[in-house]
């Protein structure tokens, strides 16, 4: 049963010292450290840590935000660890999922965070509605199709290139690319 620590800072200018100092008293067997944004779980050391842990291990973090910036990702990480039989200890939140009380507290934190997020979205929608009523809010700026769209789209449609290659050549993000593809289909059918 290994004690595994995951330490993350977002930029190369930030230091890991505070997290390491907080975790050292727990006699960690294996450390995973990285300097990368926590916006998603596509992080090399995080992925290595998830592959490394086995049933009976416990992952230690100084704070849940080191694992994930979003509640959605955090809950998925917790579920993935739980499915492997791996516990999670967060020092800042004082939560240990190896205990019944820790699992209950994590559930409460999840519910409270979701409540906070829902309230934020409601306030944002109210603000947008007021701005629209005043004629201030115009919505998101419309993204135009790139100059090479027709050529890239035709090659993609003939299966000469993959969607990923087409997105790269057109300089588009995934959702935008497929929205444009959908609009091409609507144009052809309409």
Where in the sequence numbering do the catalytic residues fall? 10
* Cβ atoms of 84 and 53 closer than 8 Å: yes
Question: Which DSSP state fits 94?
Answer: T
Three-class SS of 132-177: HHCCCCCCCCCCCCCCCHHHHHHHHHCCCCCHHHHHHHHCCCHHHH
Q: Name which of 143, 126, 140, 129 is nearest 177 in CA terms.
A: 143
Q: How many residues does the chain have?
A: 190
Q: Give the Cα-Cα-Cα angle 175, 177, 182 (nearest 5 degrees).
A: 90
* Cβ atoms of 3 and 57 closer than 8 Å: yes
Describe the strand order of the beta sheet including 95-96 as a list of residue ranges.
30-35, 3-9, 58-61, 87-90, 95-96
- Distances, alpha carbon 69 to alpha carbons 10, 77, 145, 146, in Å: 11, 11, 32, 32
């Amino acid at each position: 049963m290994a004690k595994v620590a995951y330490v993350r800072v977002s930029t190369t200018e930030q230091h890991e010292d505070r997290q390491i100092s907080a975790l050292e008293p727990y006699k960690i067997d294996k450390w995973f450290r990285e300097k990368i944004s926590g916006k998603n779980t596509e992080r090399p050391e995080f992925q290595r840590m998830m592959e490394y842990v086995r049933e009976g291990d416990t992952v230690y973090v100084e704070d849940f935000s080191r694992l994930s910036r979003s509640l959605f990702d955090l809950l998925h990480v917790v579920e993935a660890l739980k499915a492997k039989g791996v516990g999670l200890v967060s020092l800042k939140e004082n939560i240990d999922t190896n205990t019944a009380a820790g699992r209950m507290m994590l559930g409460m934190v999840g519910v409270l965070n979701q409540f906070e997020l829902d309230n934020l979205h409601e306030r944002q929608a109210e603000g947008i509605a007021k701005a629209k009523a005043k004629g201030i809010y115009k919505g998101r700026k419309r993204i135009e199709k790139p100059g090479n769209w027709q050529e890239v789209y035709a090659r993609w449609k003939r299966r000469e290139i993959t969607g990923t290659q087409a997105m790269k050549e057109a300089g588009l993000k995934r959702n935008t690319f497929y929205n444009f593809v959908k609009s091409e289909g609507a144009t052809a059918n309409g």
